[in-house]
Structure 1
């Protein structure tokens, strides 16, 4: 049987078809982008749908990208957000062009199973929307009481069935957004179980009429390898997602039951002694977490005001490491990639670091005297011990007055010894210009650093130059606001830019971003910013977002026009400021 001859329009090149569509869309004087917000100006495109498939595909591709499904009422309302309302049914064959699915529903319809039934009854089945990459869930206020009779097990089963149906309908989804909530998910490859995790978090943490009777039930749903087990072991801590001390035994039981699959574990403790139960139970049995990638040991944060601390202020007693538990035969966390410790080190030996030196990439540690004692005693961070460590974040000492260090220089030597080859370092421990003068030379031995954050550090311009010279690979720097306390007299003259360039340039060939905060004199800060840009040839990103009142911008302009910077306009116009 002979096929029908092609329409002559189907022989048009794609570019010609696009030009025709653009011309028709703009025939009323509106651009295609403008016409998307007005049904009337889309109507001239409708006849093109019947010309041939090429024209139809181009028209659909302009207006059939966001497909909306409203499950908050029955029957289901559906359509294209950019398509003429009265003609939405006409675009149904273009499901394959949708790149975004917006799902609007009452959250309890998901928990009760009604949402899945609505999708099934409206023939949204396997592969209905095959190319969508983004799923946006918009929850509307609805019947918070309708699912109050359901138990945890039934609700979790309904969430799982709903997620499975969604992924059959739109199998290419890679991103899920829950507008207005901070647990939206974006991963390289999101699948049914990732979505289930998001939905369970919504169910567990949202202010709903019937919260989870047992906050650990979602672990028992068989998806613990994708769930973060987050528990408070101290009921006095003010935290939204808390678990009473009465649940501690059950928490430990669940942790051990899922030890082989857990990937992330967050534990808030009021005392370091509680941590040891994660490693060994009362019967002396050891636990191992072979899949655990992230471990966070948190506690009540101790704020430390270095400037105003009174010597009469009561301090926490130092921890005696001789009384801490030791587990010489245990290797509980062999595959850790991220370790966060914001409490004093909880063991009397190297239990936390045993077996994971070759894998650890991220270390976030708050320095306590007991922590220092353990790190020194076991020489945990020798130059070659952690070859893959990328980021080291070191928070300030909580018990500053009982610091084991006699001087800021000794303290910084120790802080720099932790992960000496890590390219990204953040140290929140040095607070004054006199301190920094004594330690700036120490950075010369850490030339591998690419990102350095010293957010509490007050620095003079010349010390910034010394620091940048010491770190040839430095790409990003974060400091407190700079000052010019001891800048040479000649720099105060109108020829300052030329003088500074002659004295220092070029340095920091790789430095591209500088973020600073804190307080200071605007004219000094502005001059320092412009001079550093002249000295560092590739510095083009200045984050001064702490100054949002406009005064700094005015001062920056004044310094530029009155201090001799206009002759360097070609260089300075490349600067991008963030306010």
Structure 2
């Protein structure tokens, strides 16, 4: 063992290099996704027992996440539900991949279920046949239950249609189905004895059937186990399955993202109200927006308070209510709110969302219109020094009247004061008065991250902005253009002009994220980026998103080879390398 003692002192960056070499990966990703994981383990196993740092890197790759499939679908078929492709998983019916050697160390366990496999007892049989320590995960802190639909096509030759599943349920009998549900839920309770977080995600997609009564029982009982309920955009819970919401309490996180089901959205508002004393995060998208009143007031008109809620996100809930927006006269419903996102013209006619949390609010992401700006002003929501912890401010609006709203946004930002370090201003359509927009945000010297996603700036406007924001590190705009040349400067002398007049500047500036407009010149965009890099010594990342990335990188590579950039080629190549690495 003493022979290996120097390995115990390896710094983490050296460990990274070892792992990169063994895996053939250009970057080390700490999410369990590695190529050739079997070969990786074989090669590194001799080192795991002698190098503490290497163990810290290697072990989580094998045992942090475990996935157990108790559904009738093979893992490959689960991809159609947009689920994360498992890096290492346990399919005990086939005993593939890593076996059972490290799963007792798993910290995050995901179990896939489908309703028919639960109803007919096959999920419980599969779980009982696992030849590993009773299939418990003694170190697991998080248990995620994903309820999928196992009726879309043939599954293991057992059943593949809704009718076949219903026939089997009738053959078994209702009492046996209820017993199977109860036994499985009780068994799941024992699988992670120290888990502090239970999450349930629903992925049921089918027409109404006779199975709905059983499905309601199953989902409601699983929800009673949960501390988190995640009903995301890709997890589409069927409208016709009733939730027994009165039995589901003590949730900490509720997420419902849909957009069409009024009945389901109201159920999730009921879930939030039932768990008001413990709820920490609420994400809600639904229609119509009048239902938002149900969050802070129950059916009898009693006010509801959320003493633990730190995250609230409500958006895309319909058109503005105009003068009909309700006024809530109760006490502060969200007294310790830290992060607020309102993706709708404010659904209240008053300061309901902002009441009583001025000293705790850290981030605001808010859609604005004339009425919401007037409301903020009328109730004096923001005053200088009133929000000492507010660091992130993001405003956007959905119409083309952005220039008309800029004075209102400017007034709000001035009331908030200089504290925010992350600012975003977005609109549909281009900013009609870029000079005024840049002048306003350029006067806020504390900004570190700035998003002006509807702005098409010239290179010189970007340079002026960076000069006026000494702390700016991250900028996001639409594609830049060169704009009018300074007096006495032409294309041949442009790079030398930038070097001599502006370099060095913006020593904290690191990243420029660019969104391309159709019809813009890719070579001109590349020129703007490279010229800015000549002035900013630490500027190390610039890229276009999506389908334009490769074309942009090729334009950058071509430009770097031109004589005007020759003396800075090594530093400019860093931009190119980082752009490719970010894919």
TM-score range, shorter chain: 0.5 to 0.7
Distance 1:508 1:267, change over 3 A: same
Distance 1:390 1:485, change over 3 A: same
Equivalent pair of 2:280/2:308 in contact (CA under 8 Å): yes
1:385 aligns with 2:386: yes
Aligned to 1:416: 413
Distance 1:160 1:290, change over 3 A: farther
416-425 vs 146-155, greater mean Cα deviation: 146-155
The alpha carbon displacement at 1:551 in A equals 3.9
Instruction: Write out per-residue CA displacement over residues 50-105 of structure 1, whole angstroms, 9 at most, x where no aligned residue.
Output: xxx99xxx9xx99x9568866569x954756257xxxxxxxx77766778978677
1:6-17 correspondence runs (5 A): none
Aligned to 1:7: none
Instruction: Write out per-residue CA displacement over residues 478-516 of structure 1, whole angstroms, 9 at most, x where no aligned residue.
Output: 001001121226553333222102111222211111101
The alpha carbon displacement at 1:259 in A equals 2.6
Distance 1:15 1:281, change over 3 A: closer
The alpha carbon displacement at 1:285 in A equals 2.8
Instruction: Write out per-residue CA displacement over residues 179-220 of structure 1, whole angstroms, 9 at most, x where no aligned residue.
Output: x99xxxxxxxxxx98984678859x94578xx8621x33672
Which of the numbers 102, 115, 126 marks the counterpart of 2:123?
Answer: 115
Aligned to 1:535: 535
Equivalent pair of 2:254/2:272 in contact (CA under 8 Å): no
Equivalent pair of 2:362/2:391 in contact (CA under 8 Å): yes
- In 1: Cα distance, 2:495 partner to 2:471 partner: 25
Aligned to 1:351: 352
Equivalent pair of 1:193/1:226 in contact (CA under 8 Å): no
Distance 1:530 1:329, change over 3 A: same
Aligned to 2:27: none
Aligned to 1:222: 249
Instruction: Write out per-residue CA displacement over residues 22-59 of structure 1, whole angstroms, 9 at most, x where no aligned residue.
Output: xxxxxxxxx99999769xxx9xxxxx9xxxx99xxx9x
Aligned to 2:514: 516
- In 2: Cα distance, 1:96 partner to 1:284 partner: 50
- In 1: Cα distance, 2:141 partner to 2:300 partner: 50
Aligned to 1:548: 548
Structure 2: 5+ residue stretches without partners? 9-21, 25-34, 73-90, 205-221
- In 2: Cα distance, 1:252 partner to 1:94 partner: 40
Equivalent pair of 1:115/1:162 in contact (CA under 8 Å): no
Which of the numbers 89, 97, 101 marks the counterpart of 1:81?
Answer: 97
Instruction: Write out per-residue CA displacement over residues 427-453 of structure 1, whole angstroms, 9 at most, x where no aligned residue.
Output: 103855761112322224321211111
Distance 1:132 1:118, change over 3 A: same
Aligned to 1:167: 192
1:170-209 correspondence runs (5 A): 196=226, 205=235
- In 2: Cα distance, 1:289 partner to 1:101 partner: 30
1:267-286 correspondence runs (5 A): 267-268=284-285, 273-280=290-297, 284-286=301-303
Aligned to 1:557: 557
Aligned to 2:337: 336
Aligned to 1:483: 481
1:24-423 correspondence runs (5 A): 65=62, 77=93, 79=95, 81-82=97-98, 108-110=116-118, 114-120=122-128, 122=130, 124-125=132-133, 130=138, 141=155, 143=159, 145=165, 157=182, 160-168=185-193, 196=226, 205=235, 213-214=241-242, 216-217=243-244, 220-228=247-255, 230=256, 238-239=259-260, 242-244=261-263, 248=266, 255-268=272-285, 273-280=290-297, 284-300=301-317, 319-320=322-323, 324-398=325-399, 400=400, 407=404, 410-414=407-411, 416-417=413-414, 419-420=416-417, 421-423=419-421
Equivalent pair of 2:249/2:274 in contact (CA under 8 Å): no
Aligned length: 487
The alpha carbon displacement at 1:166 in A equals 2.4
1:393 partner SS: strand
Distance 1:278 1:257, change over 3 A: same
106-115 vs 558-567, greater mean Cα deviation: 106-115
- In 2: Cα distance, 1:458 partner to 1:432 partner: 7
Equivalent pair of 1:163/1:195 in contact (CA under 8 Å): no
Instruction: Write out per-residue CA displacement over residues 453-480 of structure 1, whole angstroms, 9 at most, x where no aligned residue.
Output: 1111111111111111121111111001
TM-score of the superposed pair, with normalisation by structure 2: 0.67
1:227 partner SS: strand
Aligned to 1:6: none
Equivalent pair of 2:392/2:420 in contact (CA under 8 Å): yes
Distance 1:271 1:193, change over 3 A: closer
- In 1: Cα distance, 2:408 partner to 2:224 partner: 43
- In 1: Cα distance, 2:198 partner to 2:106 partner: 14
Equivalent pair of 1:449/1:471 in contact (CA under 8 Å): yes
Equivalent pair of 1:495/1:563 in contact (CA under 8 Å): no
The alpha carbon displacement at 1:335 in A equals 2.2
Equivalent pair of 1:461/1:487 in contact (CA under 8 Å): no
The alpha carbon displacement at 1:529 in A equals 0.4
Distance 1:136 1:417, change over 3 A: same
Equivalent pair of 1:68/1:79 in contact (CA under 8 Å): no
- In 2: Cα distance, 1:131 partner to 1:119 partner: 19
- In 1: Cα distance, 2:119 partner to 2:380 partner: 52
The alpha carbon displacement at 1:261 in A equals 2.8
385-394 vs 548-557, greater mean Cα deviation: 548-557
What do you get for the CA RMSD once the two structures are aligned?
Answer: 5.0
TM-score of the superposed pair, with normalisation by structure 1: 0.68
- In 2: Cα distance, 1:524 partner to 1:17 partner: 50
Structure 1: 5+ residue stretches without partners? 1-10, 19-30, 43-47, 84-91, 182-191, 233-237, 303-315
Instruction: Write out per-residue CA displacement over residues 333-357 of structure 1, whole angstroms, 9 at most, x where no aligned residue.
Output: 2122222222222333322211111
The alpha carbon displacement at 1:147 in A equals 5.8
